[in-house]
Structure 1
Amino acid sequence: MSLGTLPNALVVIAVVIAVIARRISWSELDNSNADVWRGPVVLVGIGIYQLYAGHAQLGVAGVILLAIGAAVALVAGVASGRVAQVERRAGKVFYRLGLPGLGIMVAYLVIRLGLAGVGHLVGVPVAQGGALMVSLGANLLTQSMIIQGKASRMAEEYTNQ
C-alpha cells in the first residue's frame, strides 16, 4: 500500500461508515432533487479526479474491472433502493434501508473490495481509490434515485386521496 492509497482508503471508510449510519436509521428525505444527487456526484467527481490525476492507463483489464465495478454498483443500488422502507409521518417523508438494505450494502462493499484486490493482484492501477469512489458514488446515486422515486409515488398517492 502506497502512502497515497492510505488517505484514500481512510476517506472511503469514513464515507461508508457515515452513509451506512445515516441510511440504516430513519432519516427525513428532503424532497429537493439536490438531496438526491449532491453527495453521490461529489464522490464520483472526486473519484474521477483521482483517476485522472493518477494518470492511470486503461488497458483491457482496467476497462473490464471498471465495467464490472459499475455494474455491481448499479445492481446493488437498485436492489437496496427497492428494499428501502419509506414512510410518511406528519406530512414529511422518512426512509431507511433496514436490515435487507444493509445486507445488500455490505455484500456490495465486499464484492467491490474484492474487485479492487483482484485489480491490485493483476497490476491494474485504476482498481484502487478513485475507482472505489466512483463506484460508491454511482451506487449511492442509484439507491437515492430509487428511494426518491418511491417517495414521489407515495406523495402522489397521498395527494390523490
Structure 2
Amino acid sequence: MKKLAAAGFLLVVGAELMVLAAPDRSMALVISGIALAVALLGLRWYLTREAVSGADEEPIDDAAEALRRWMSRTETLISRADSTRRDWDRHLRPMLARQFEMATGQKRLKDRAAYHATGQMLFGAQLWAWVDPENIARNDANEPAPGRAALDEILQRLERI
C-alpha cells in the first residue's frame, strides 16, 4: 500500500517535471490530470483486489478471540496469585491498586492519609496489605503470595463499590 502510494506520488511529480521541462506548457493541466487519474485508479484497483482476496478467507470471530484472550489473562493472574510475593508485587499489586483508585476515586498522590484510610476501610488491614502499592516486599520476595482466596476476596470487595 505504501509502495503504491509512493509510486503514484512519484508518477504525478514526474509528469509535472516533464511538463515544466517542455517548451510548450499548454498541456500541463491535462498531463497532470492524467497522471493523477492513473495513480488513483491504481490505488482503487489495489484496494478492491485486497477486499476480494480477503473475502475468501474465513471470517475472524472477534467475540471468541476476545474471550480467549480474557481467559488466558485470567489464568495468568490466578497463577501469579498462587506464586511468590515477588510475582504478586510486580503484576497483581499495581493492577489492584489501579482498580482501587478507579473504583473509589482516591488518588494516592493527592492525599496519602485518606488513600490508606479508604483502603483499610474497604479491605481491612489484612487484605489492604496486599493491595497497598507502597507495601512491596524488599527482603521476603520469595515468600508465598496470599493465593486465590485473597485475590477473589479483594476482587469481590472492589466489585461491591
Return the TM-score normalized by structure 2: 0.28
Return the TM-score normalized by structure 1: 0.28
More relative contact order, 1 or 2 (CA 8 Å, 6+ apart)? 1
Q: Which has the larger radius of gyration?
A: 2
More strand by share: 1
